[in-house]
Amino acid sequence: MRNLNDNLLHTTIYKHKIFWEKKARRYPLPFDSQTLAITLKIIEIVKNKGVRISGSRILDIGCGTGIYTLPLAKEADFVFGLDSSETMISRLLDERNKHNINNVDVIKASWKDLDISSVNFKKAFDVVWVAMSMAVKDEDDIQKMETCSKRWCVYIGWGRYRKNELMEKAFQIHGLRFGPPPGAEAIYKILQTKGRNPTLDFIQTAWDREGSIDDTLEDIVLHIELNDAKPDISSLKSLLLSYAKDGRIYHQTLVEQGIIVWQV
């Protein structure tokens, strides 16, 4: 049974790696105005919980294109980003260089597989941060975060809803439900079970997306495949044509995000 569970775990991890590598090509960048506004709002909430960003060394797990890594680096002493997607890291480094941010470094690695002793991460950071990433989802992942942190851990994840009319219709075609993946509430319960005293705040954010019909189709197909369904390309194309304006697709996702802060 253990071998079966291990195989399922590795299959799931591989599937998510492929998903994020493909998503990376069009993933938002940290200094896009809408993205940055949300980032700064969340950072301010975290700081109001007592987390000191200024002068701190921070580890950003699942850093992506640097949505938190680079804005945090504007205040922190040093930020170390970690991500399993080469394309995400490449785009982060391009943004780092473009904005002359010199106190950021990155490593390409899976959080699940990373040997934190071999990279000297044990108690190496004042703050360990993870945002909207599947890298942290169980007690072992949380324990690993705490082992790297001298004081603070921050988890930002899915809240209680995710709404997008276009995506909901695309999912319905395939008998799927478009809702939030497991996120903040699940992590919060684990922390309580571990005897921690976390805070949990919810905020609503909106993600606006624009793309060609082909680009939007590719993105939807990725989400359908991630949910172990076979995409009905013909039906999806018909759906997208009904939403298209001058060959472009505009859609918005309303998201609730949960922000958890705790001391180790």
Determine phi and psi for 219, rounding to 5 degrees.
Answer: -65, -45
Is the overall model pTM greater than 0.95, yes or no?
no
Q: What is the pLDDT of residues 38-51, one digit of tens each?
A: 999 999 999 999 99
Q: What is the pLDDT of residues 146-188, one digit of tens each?
A: 999 999 999 999 999 999 999 999 999 999 999 999 999 999 9
What are the residue ranges spanned by the domains of the chain?
2-161+180-204+255-263
pLDDT one digit per residue (tens) for the chain, 264 residues: 555 555 544 455 556 677 888 888 889 999 999 999 999 999 999 999 999 999 999 999 999 999 999 999 999 999 999 999 999 999 999 999 999 999 999 999 999 999 999 999 999 999 999 999 999 999 999 999 999 999 999 999 999 999 999 999 999 999 999 999 999 999 999 999 999 999 999 999 999 999 999 999 999 999 999 999 999 999 999 999 999 999 999 999 999 999 999 999
Strands 248-263 and 149-163: antiparallel
CB 229, CB 158: distance < 8 Å: no
DSSP-derived secondary structure letter, 180: P
Q: Which CATH fold topology does 2-161+180-204+255-263 show?
A: Rossmann fold (3.40.50)
CB 26, CB 219: distance < 8 Å: yes
Alpha helices in the chain (DSSP H): 2-23, 33-48, 69-73, 86-98, 139-148, 165-173, 184-193, 213-226, 233-243
Nearest by Cα to 169 from 236, 221, 229: 236
Torsion of CA 49, 80, 119, 137, to 10 degrees: 50
